[in-house]
Chains A and B, each alone.
Chain A
Amino acid sequence: EVQLVESGGDVVQPGGSLRLSCVASTFTFSNYWMNWVRQAPGKGLEWVANIKRDGSEKYYVDSVKGRFTISRDNAKNSLYLQMNSLRVEDTAVYYCVSFDVGWGQGTQVVVSS
């Protein structure tokens, strides 16, 4: 079974920064585009960003452009999300996702003063 394990979520003040990490196992990580998807409390799912297999292409939802950066390290089977200038509306559970193979358990990010 696919394993994607996120970490790095925390409570942070508006304007602060966090770095989320995701470690993949049981599948060939480097073969897949990877994504971050978030879910605000009581809300639906929102795609945040994705990155091509070799890291050469990245796409972001407009609301995070210029503030979030997605990256990956295929040698470590790891996906990252650097989150800067955090806003209250970024509060959500963040999931590490391959739309081809599976989802992680999520990591909670709370932005609050």
Chain B
Amino acid sequence: QAGLTQPPSVSEDLRQTATLICTGNSNNVGDRGAVWLQQHQGHPPKLLSNRNNNRPSGISERFSASRSGNTASLTITGLQPEDEADYYCSAWDTSFTGWVFGGGTKLTVL
């Protein structure tokens, strides 16, 4: 099954804003939206945003998710060194009848 498409890497300056993109189709992102995950090296993924673009308790307001059509976005404002991580998107795919993932974007904070 085809996964979601994410750019392999994004670099942005400290205290600036980064926007990560995740592209799917009408069977997944375009149907019910996407979730966003953050994973630091050697650690489990952490849920940043659910399909309703809501942050779980404890997730900083600097992380905000949105969707337009078949594309989901994660915006991180006021970049901090600890934001350096891999970011994954995922969505339920109605044709595959399962969750599909993007390949992940490695965010570097300069």
In the complex, A17 Cα to B102 Cα: how many Å?
30
Q: Does A61 contact B (CB under 8 A)?
A: yes
**Residue-by-residue, is B31-44 near A (CB-CB < 8 Å gives 1, otherwise 0)?**
00001010000001
Number of residues of chain A lying within 8 A (CB) of chain B: 22
Enumerate chain B residues within 8 angstroms of A71, measured Cβ to Cβ.
none
Name the contact of B44 in the complex, choosing from A35, A101, A104 (C-beta under 8 A).
A104
Number of residues of chain B lying within 8 A (CB) of chain A: 22
Known contacts A95-B45, A100-B50; decide if A47 and B56 are in contact (CB<8 Å).
no
Number of A-B contacts (CB under 8 A): 54
> Are A47 and B99 in touch, CB under 8 angstroms?
yes
> Are B101 and A45 in touch, CB under 8 angstroms?
yes
> Are B44 and A95 in touch, CB under 8 angstroms?
yes
Q: Does B81 contact A (CB under 8 A)?
A: no
Question: Residues of B at under 8 Å CB distance from A?
Answer: 35, 37, 44-47, 50-51, 56-58, 88, 90, 92, 97-104
Question: Residues of A at under 8 Å CB distance from B?
Answer: 1-2, 35, 37, 44-47, 50, 59-61, 93, 95, 99-106
